[in-house]
Structure 1
């Protein structure tokens, strides 16, 4: 099973908070830092959104305040992460250079006073951003208290201004070389789209009167997302390059991404980072540990190593429809959920409520008057526990037997042409992920070109774009004895978002022994029956045509629209030492659970711990040994059957039926009696007791 490296060398888990010393009198700082230390906080993040304090006028730099803040934090045992302040440009900059503000699709330029409203395509803005980053690097790079640099904050906006359009046209010239090549690969003869000058190519702006799919070529839209990725990668690189010459070797670079957000390709932006970061908020309602866990596993997969949670929820938020607080104990269960998925740093946003500004109601650790909120005690409890657990967790990382394949180009292309309004690529990925995690199976979410050796099962929920490189990579995995599950809408497009001149799943049909004879966007659910049980398909169904004698049909469609009736819906085929299973529909939860259970058994994947509903099992392993984190995410007590083990939190032995209190946590150390490994390709026990 693949084990990925931890985030950075450290002797303790990092437990932090966003601190804004510039908001408060300096004689208050010691009290804040004392309260942090008493809560077990050992890391603070500073400087994000502080540009107007750091540079109150063009070229006038005032960094002394933050030097004093870093030095005082060090006196209280704190390490520091410095965030470049470039998500909130100062008024003197935007007034003198209005082109540095983003323009929306309606042609309206952003006003001053927000955040992340800059124009990432503006050369002027990038120059000012790199300059302030470099000044911070010069001043604070030599400080041993500084452990890392966060570049900007939550990249999230594209601009549709004239400069960005010119840059997009230059990007396309670099990608295609000639207009003839662009026209050929974009199929621009369709609807007379052919271009005779680079300056004719538009930005993908969508008039409110037009349906998006009608307005712009899908190849143009896909390339625009790649272009936005390149803009942010360049913006990020320029800031890193300004800081790195001054930074100590052990200092790391990171950015706080936002889970499933997909404006750009996070894999590309993570290339130059040392650690991927994630801002993890629940917001409205309570934790769905499956969906939220998938966001963590996606973040871990960006660099295939542990990651940092640079912002998480202390109480409530203020950006949702209903900004409820987390229940008593739920902050603690959320933190252990994050650690279980591979977080080596967890940091709250923020320490104390600012008295003014747009986020006055956002949950904080302290009240506006500087006294602790009720959940300070819970945060302090977590801090004490993490100090106790650090020797067991440092150097460990999640272990996974299963990988789910995820690619931003696939998500973009599917969202451009959903064909069914409910075909949400994330919802579809989660339909495969959920039964795995509910069974306690460790699961990585990785790019299709990530190393796959060691995974017993690889799942491609919707491998929409099948490039030659991806095909060869998956073929190598199959030749090595792997088990590949291919979901619907796979092998449809090439890398330019044009249809492949073949039936689905493209060249993978050679391995699968089936082709998609027709796909159907479903108005009504279609019944499915077979040896795995019965259920139904909704949203999407594909009629699989069997092309090889050794293909085993696991499920067929029942009476439906006539075209699907009696046709293959799920198949499997052994190919040499490997196996390919094709799932041709969006299955209901119960039937998907049966399909995944059979695939796990054929692949020889099993766990000794079967968690009850609402309970999550996470496993980390490394030089320090093995740690199993068990979390009850429900507001009611749960009982789990455990082998004999030591609970490092409670300092006691546990075994047999073990009670978990609401939001309760166990941290078991040592290798459990688990992984009763089946021989690969063992015959699954099918519904009804059949073999």
Structure 2
């Protein structure tokens, strides 16, 4: 059913004042002619009509979604799209909410969607349209209550991902929308879902709501999955779980997360690792049904899925089961491969926190998937309430974050949101109100609007595609191991990894995530140029991975283990053979008396800082940390009873305030071909002592400074590893460096993560020889500038250079990068 479109109304009165303001702030642009669809070449979009690359830069714009205060009139939609185009946006992420498009089963209302897409065609804007929802329309809830998810307390508002009717209706809606607009040149791509999950990210009780659990669909699906996993043999499952089931029909679905990490038998008996794998596959198969529908409805248009890129929650029981590798794999197996992944990725404008950078959030997908990445949500809020002082950083931070995302490997960026929504101020989420670049009345926000407009205009003028398309990241220095064996500790591993990642990046290293077995790494890791392997908290490993560690050392790979003692258990918490012997041989530690003293990774505290306990770290005066003074940090986990042995050297001890030694906090060992280091507390996720945090002003860079000292001592001093580029000068250790190899040189980017200015000089003999040409791409003069010596970066500042080395040097010296995508 097509409802008749209403005549195009005049702009509401509240918009008239904006016309006058906008006329002073923006240049009028002639609307572009509509272009044809997009494909992907060399990891970037390719406009098939214009026959040129396309780098999306624009806004995420919620149009008709009343629960989030998005109820635009058609006049407001027209006005907004014209305003966004005049701000030099070339693309938008928008939503066609299921309830608004299909208000009754089989009855479609197309007037709003038709209007939106026609307007985008007129303006030459590309739309990346979110059409897949786990929240079904009201008619579905009424007609098919059995296809809704179940919780321990009753029905859930989410679909049951295991139920055939839920899949069928979901896929039918996606196919209908895609088929209607399959010929529209405005469609950049279809997003078939957004942040699907099995239980709430914020649900902190041990007994989970078990979204999706029911006796009729979910439990049989789970048992079928287990039978497939164990080859139909209940004996194999019993061996893995330590149970005595007679048949798969007896296996229950675990109802609570096994929180006590010291009760390994209970963890093993619960089968919770396999439950997580079933959840991952169930979400992925549900989305694969939507992907097939989208491909059948619009065979020549691109499809994507949208998920969280950064960190929402750091507690292990809150892992949602949304896994990008499983999703892409199951869609590919269904004959409907995703063309790219869409990320909702927000930097934290918080001094001292490594998530001020977007790089780790992008790396989780850039490094582990074989498809490109598009940022469809990012930004900073002028009503920020999570991070003290962050609201004032919106203007500068939004610009530097956008540029950083592109240099980190994203093929485009859309800022969330076009306009503020003040209604959020009266909800528990007031920070949601201030993400816009124009305010609630669509007036340009002071500084923010003009900064974003100038940034987009600069991207057009470069043109950006000339530098990015065909560019490649540099080969990694350090490999970071993250297999699915870690799923029971996924969230805390993510926090540890993100923080260690940021510290290594600030030291100038380029880490890369890997998930293939270490036994397969062999000399391939060496060929990439990587000389370091980081185990962020790999206490669960395949037995063959544990056995591979000595071989990697013999091939010259330095190994750093953080927090946990590597390889103690497999994925099902079975003890790995020869674990203690291998750990002594590789890391030089005696683990016979080792035990965790404190761990808060499974339980929320009364407040966020309650999960961190004080730990005094006392370095040996002649150790690799030099004359570093004893320091108290607060950590979420640390160990007792780890002692040096088998050639290991204790570099730092953890002690009580009275001087009683608790454990070796850092142990190093030299091998003939390489070296190892292991720290027995969370060097990634820690905070300052309470006295320092509560003092006026405090030291906002405490975590940055401490992490830099430790990682520098391990990787630079002990492993003798040197980054390709080093930054020197006051504040340089708070500046991130990105380096990409282009078809005719290099892109060098510098981002100041601090609010204080930095004076930076770039040191890289292999790159900056005689005859090197350095061009400042963001300078108003658009010239060569003053080279790369004594550069001033203001707080949250960003600089971007194109470097053309001499022909001979370029040919002989530049490291060979690896393409990010086929």
User: Is 1:230 matched up with 2:281?
Assistant: yes
Deviation at 1:363, TM superposition (A): 2.5
User: Which residue pairs with 2:340 in the alignment?
Assistant: 275
Match of 1:386? 459
Structure 1 residues 21 and 342: alpha-carbon distance in aligned structure 2, compared to 1, 3 A threshold: same
The CA distance in 2 between the partners of 1:600 and 1:336, in whole Å, is 34
Distance 1:213 1:68, change over 3 A: farther
1:148 correspondence with 2:223: no
User: What does residue 25 of structure 1 align with?
Assistant: 73
Query: Does the aligned pair in 2 maintain the 1:466–1:492 contact within 8 Å?
Result: yes
Find out whether 1:632 has 2:752 as its counterpart: yes
Distance 1:489 1:246 in 2: 51
Rounded to whole Å, the distance in 1 between the matches of 2:153 and 2:616 is 42
CA distance in 1, matches of 2:373, 2:402: 14
**1:658 has 2:726 as partner:** no
* Distance change in 2, residues 1:356/1:558 (3 Å): closer
Structure 2 residue aligned with 1:86: 133
The answer to whether the Cα contact below 8 Å between 2:541 and 2:570 also exists between their aligned partners in 1 is: yes
SS at 2:592 equivalent:
strand
Alpha-carbon offset, residue 316 of structure 1: 4.3
Q: 1:331 to 1:613 in 2, by over 3 A?
A: same
Separation in 1, partners of 2:791, 2:309: 36
1:527 equivalent among 610, 614, 618: 618
Judged with a 3 Å threshold, the aligned counterparts in structure 2 of structure 1 residues 331 and 431 are, in CA distance, closer, same or farther, namely closer
**Does structure 1 retain, via aligned residues, the 8 Å contact 2:624–2:713?**
yes
What is the CA deviation profile of residues 414-443 of structure 1, one whole-angstrom value per residue up to 9, with x for unaligned ones?
Answer: 479xxxxxxx43443345334312212222
Pick closer, same or farther for the CA change 1:44–1:181 going to 2, 3 Å. Answer: same
Give distance in 1, aligned partners of 2:596 and 2:257.
27
Could you list the per-position Cα deviations for residues 76-124 of structure 1 after superposition, in whole angstroms to 9, with x for gaps in the alignment? 12112122231331111112222343333x423235xxxxx33323332
Q: Aligned-residue CA RMSD in angstroms? A: 4.0
TM-score (norm 2): 0.70
- 2:490 and 2:659 map into 1 onto residues whose CA distance is 28
1:62 partner SS: coil
Distance 1:591 1:367 in 2: 43
Aligned to 1:187: 242
Residues 461-509 of structure 1: CA deviation (Å, up to 9, x unaligned) = 22222215545776775565433323332111113232213334x7576
1:517-560: per-residue Cα shift (whole Å, max 9, x none)? 3324346545342530255796424635544xxx5636264777
How much has 1:613 moved relative to structure 2? 4.0
Per the TM alignment, residue 310 of structure 1 is displaced from its structure 2 partner at its CA by: 1.2
| Cross-structure match for 1:310 | 376
Pick closer, same or farther for the CA change 1:557–1:5 going to 2, 3 Å: farther
| Partner SS for 1:109 | strand
Offset of residue 279 of structure 1: 0.9
Out of 593, 598, 604, the position equivalent to 2:716 is 598
* Pairs within 5 Å for 1:54-203: 54-104=101-151, 106-111=152-157, 117-158=158-199, 159=211, 160-162=213-215, 163-176=217-230, 177-188=232-243, 194-203=244-253
TM-aligned CA deviation for residue 73 of structure 1? 0.9
| Distance in 2, Cα, partners of 1:166 & 1:225 | 16
* Cα distance, 1:503–1:477 mapped onto 2, change above 3 Å: closer
Distance in 2 (alpha carbons) for counterparts of 1:553 and 1:600: 12
Cα 1:58–1:316, aligned 2, differ >3 Å: closer, same or farther? farther
> Does the CA-based 8 Å contact 1:148-1:253 persist in structure 2?
yes
Write out aligned runs for 1:241-390 (5 A): 241-249=292-300, 251-260=302-311, 262-264=319-321, 265-271=323-329, 272=332, 273-282=338-347, 288-290=353-355, 292-293=357-358, 294-303=360-369, 306-313=372-379, 315-316=381-382, 324=391, 326-352=393-419, 361=433, 363-374=435-446, 375-389=448-462, 390=464
Tell me how far apart the structure 1 counterparts of residues 167 and 571 of structure 2 sit (CA, whole Å).
Answer: 30
Q: Is the 1:141–1:247 contact (alpha carbons within 8 Å) kept by the matching residues of 2? A: yes
Q: Contact 2:380/2:397 (CA < 8 Å) preserved in 1?
A: no
1:464 aligns with 2:464: no
Counterpart position of 1:483: 558
1:16-51 deviations in Å (ceiling 9; x for gaps): 222345443334443222211121211112235x11
Deviation at 1:152, TM superposition (A): 0.9
**Paired residue for 1:649?**
778
- CA deviations 1:639-686 (Å, max 9, x no partner) are 111467321110232232121223222101115799999xxxxxxxxx
Distance 1:354 1:131, change over 3 A: farther
Cα distance in 1, alignment partners of residues 436 and 652 from structure 2: 53
Distance 1:39 1:157 in 2: 39
Q: Tell whether the 8 Å contact from 1:6 to 1:397 is kept in structure 2 after alignment.
A: no
Helix, strand or coil for the counterpart of 2:171? helix
Q: 1:169, CA displacement in angstroms? A: 2.1
Q: CA deviation at 1:59?
A: 1.3
Gaps of 5+ in 1: 112-116, 189-193, 417-423, 678-691
State whether residues 354 and 498 of structure 2, in contact with CA within 8 Å, keep that contact through their aligned partners in structure 1: no
**1:121·1:167 contact (CA, 8 Å) conserved in 2?**
yes
> Whole-Å Cα distance in 1 between the matches of residues 679 and 174 of structure 2?
49
Alpha-carbon distance in 2 for matches of 1:168, 1:448: 26
- Deviation at 1:175? 1.5
Q: Equivalent residues in 2 for 1:423-572 (5 A)?
A: 424-430=492-498, 432-449=500-517, 452=525, 453-454=527-528, 455-468=530-543, 470=545, 478=553, 480-487=555-562, 488-504=564-580, 516-522=591-597, 524-525=615-616, 527-529=618-620, 530-533=622-625, 539-541=637-639, 543=642, 546-547=645-646, 551=647, 553=649, 555=651, 557=653, 569-572=666-669
Structure-2 separation of matches of 1:231 and 1:213: 30
Q: Cα deviations across residues 361-416 of structure 1 (Å, max 9, x unaligned)?
A: 35223333344333222221221122234022233243253334243645443479
Shift of 1:52: 1.3
Number of the residue aligned with 2:800:
667
Shift of 1:15: 0.6
- Contact 1:315 / 1:331 at 8 angstroms: preserved in 2? no
User: How many Å apart are 1:340 and its aligned residue?
Assistant: 3.1
1:15–1:42 contact (8 Å) kept in structure 2? yes
Distance 1:465 1:606, change over 3 A: same
Residue pair 2:588, 2:668 contacting (<8 A) in 1 also = no
Partner residue in 1 for 2:11? none
Deviation at residue 302 of structure 1 after TM alignment: 3.0
> Secondary structure at 1:646's aligned position in 2?
strand
Counterpart Cα distance in 2 of 1:321 and 1:432: 20
Q: Offset at 1:197? A: 4.2
Matched, 1:11 2:53: yes
Q: Is the deviation greater in 520-529 or in 263-272?
A: 520-529
Q: Is the 8 A contact 1:283 1:317 kept in 2?
A: no
Counterparts in 2 of 1:546 and 1:76: CA distance versus 1, 3 Å: same
Once residues 47 and 430 of structure 1 are traced to their aligned partners in structure 2, the CA distance between those partners, rounded to angstroms, is 30
2:304–2:342 contact (8 Å) kept in structure 1 = no
- TM-score normalized by structure 1? 0.82
CA distance in 2, matches of 1:352, 1:556: 51
**Partners of 2:741 and 2:288 in 1: CA distance:** 33
For the 8 Å contact 1:456–1:604, the answer to whether it is kept is: no
